[in-house]
Amino acid sequence: MLTFWNEASPAAQKALVAASLGWMLDAFDVMLYALILTAVVKDMGLTLAVGGQLASLTLAASAVGGLIFGVLADKLGRTRALSLSILLYSVFTFACGLAQNVWQLALFRVLLGLGMGGEWASGAVLVSETWPEKHRGKALGIMQSCWAIGYGTAAIVVAIVLPRYGWRAVFFVGILPALFTLWIRRSVQEPELWKQARAVRRAGTLVPATSDPPSPVAIPWTLVVFLTLMNAATMFAWWGLNLWVPSYLSLPTAQGGIGLTTEYMSMFVVAMQVGMWLGYVSFGFISDAFGRKPTYVMYLVVAAVLVWAYGATRQPALLLVLGPFVAFFGTGYFSGFGAVASEIFPTAIRATALGVTYNSGRLLSAVAPFAIGSLAQSRGFGVAFTITAIAYLIAAVLWIGIPETKGRKLA
């Protein structure tokens, strides 16, 4: 691990720290909603379906935000886009605590989602363009693993703040990530690859009329489609499961839940985040050794089996043991998406392409919180989580159209 870190330049190390902390804080702000959803639904007189609709709105907005910030990252720079996205989701997480009705909450969740979507595209490209190819998967695995740390931190904050001060105070804590943007702007440099691509673009606008125009960038549209659909299936499964796990654990048994207290529910979620963190990190090392494609498919197939088992289990002790394994395989594969997409698309359009493929997939998956919430309410969590298991299997099948990219140099 130390050798892997020491083989990177100081600029690459700072880029990884910035992207990792940004992603951790993104998870912290975004997952607060899932953790206090039961309290929000009760206090505002909502149904589970409406609670799911609000989450779906956030996901849809994050897809739009990813597209916008992907373009901004290509035009203005990776670090500028990263800072703006963090500032946006921090401010509007705080604003959620001020909402007086469902319409205000919906508006603030949409604006939060714009920043949430922008952070991943900016951060993943920043890491991909600064780390050497033999360690790219590991670096992106470290970055992705910080989502689990952010989620776990959010669970701890909820356990402390919610019973004492209520759900509004939980959202107020979400303003803290905004302070992190000051360090990014002061300390993190733009990647040399982006600087060179910008210089080429600027030179292209100044060439004499008699010179040959710059060659257009070829876009592999078939891969765009397969990457987007594969990512949509994984995101449907992830959000369908993870948004509703806290409610599954905390709702009374008469409403289909397990009936845990807020403190115990948070403990179960933190245990899952340990498994999630290990899944993220291990994926980077395994995919660098054996390839992106076989590692991805293996994680997805095992996740499908474990998620089905999780939804069929009613004993708290078994759920506590099973949860970390569900999170390990049901989340760890996300570490590979940034590497695969970065190794497919050229520098001139990389952030835009990652924004499109990742966030179009997120847009297609935005129906998951509403669909799974509605199924959980009408048919029970066992049926609802079975649908997420099927989505994992569909994602595994879609890898038939995606090539192996391990070891490719970035163009």
82-101 pLDDT, tens digit each: 888 888 888 998 999 999 99
Is pLDDT at 22 greater than 50 in this prediction? yes
Other C-beta atoms lying within 10 Å of the C-beta of residue 230: 26
Query: Considering only 137-141, 172-176, 294-298, which range has the smallest mean pLDDT?
Result: 137-141
Query: Considering only 91-100, 155-164, 211-220, 284-293, which range has the smallest mean pLDDT?
Result: 211-220
Q: 40-50: per-residue pLDDT in tens?
A: 988 898 887 88
355: helix, coil or strand? Answer: helix
Taking the alpha carbons of 200, 205, 209, 214 in that order, is the dihedral positive or negative? positive
- Do 156 and 27 contact (CB within 8 A), yes or no? no
What's residue 393's pLDDT? 97
What is the C-alpha separation between 345 and 13, in angstroms, rounded?
23
Q: Tokens for 336?
A: 């590979």
The residues, any chain, with a CB within 8 Å of residue 81's CB and separated by 6 or more, are 69, 72, 73, 118, 121, 122, 351
Residue by residue, DSSP assigns 86-102 as HHHHHHHHHHHTT--SH
Q: Tokens for 10?
A: 């100081």
Chain position carrying tokens 């499109």: 356
Chain position carrying tokens 């909402």: 99
303: helix, coil or strand? Answer: helix
- Do 58 and 182 contact (CB within 8 A), yes or no? no
What's residue 206's pLDDT? 46
Q: DSSP secondary-structure letter at 345?
A: S
- Do 283 and 335 contact (CB within 8 A), yes or no? yes
Average pLDDT over residues 277-293: 88
> What is the band of 2 on the pLDDT scale with cuts at 50, 70, 90?
low
9: helix, coil or strand? Answer: coil
Other C-beta atoms lying within 10 Å of the C-beta of residue 180: 18
Higher pLDDT pick, 9 / 154: 154
What is the C-alpha separation between 204 and 369, in angstroms, rounded?
45
What's residue 308's pLDDT? 94
Q: 390-408: per-residue pLDDT in tens?
A: 999 999 999 999 988 887 7
Domain 11-198+217-401 has CATH 1.20.1250.20: yes
What's residue 396's pLDDT? 96
What is the C-alpha separation between 280 and 337, in angstroms, rounded?
11
Length of the chain: 411
What's residue 201's pLDDT? 66
Q: 312-351: per-residue pLDDT in tens?
A: 988 999 999 999 999 999 988 988 887 788 788 887 777 7
Q: 196-243: per-residue pLDDT in tens?
A: 777 776 666 544 444 444 455 566 778 888 999 999 999 899 888 888
Burial track 201-223 (b if 16+ CB lie within 10 A, e otherwise): eeeeeeeeeeeeeeeeeeeeeeb
Nearest CA to 170 out of 112, 115, 98, 107 is that of 98
| CA distances for 205 relative to 193, 200, 209, 214, 218, angstroms | 19, 9, 10, 9, 19
Higher pLDDT pick, 138 / 230: 230
390: helix, coil or strand? Answer: helix
Q: 238-272: per-residue pLDDT in tens?
A: 888 888 888 889 888 888 889 888 888 889 988 99
- Do 304 and 234 contact (CB within 8 A), yes or no? no
What's residue 105's pLDDT? 93
Higher pLDDT pick, 212 / 17: 17
Share the mean pLDDT of the chain: 84
What's residue 144's pLDDT? 82
Average pLDDT over residues 14-29: 85
Global pTM reads 0.71
Residue by residue, DSSP assigns 250-299 as HS-GGGTS----HHHHHHHHHHHHHHHHHHHHHHHHHHHHH-HHHHHHHH
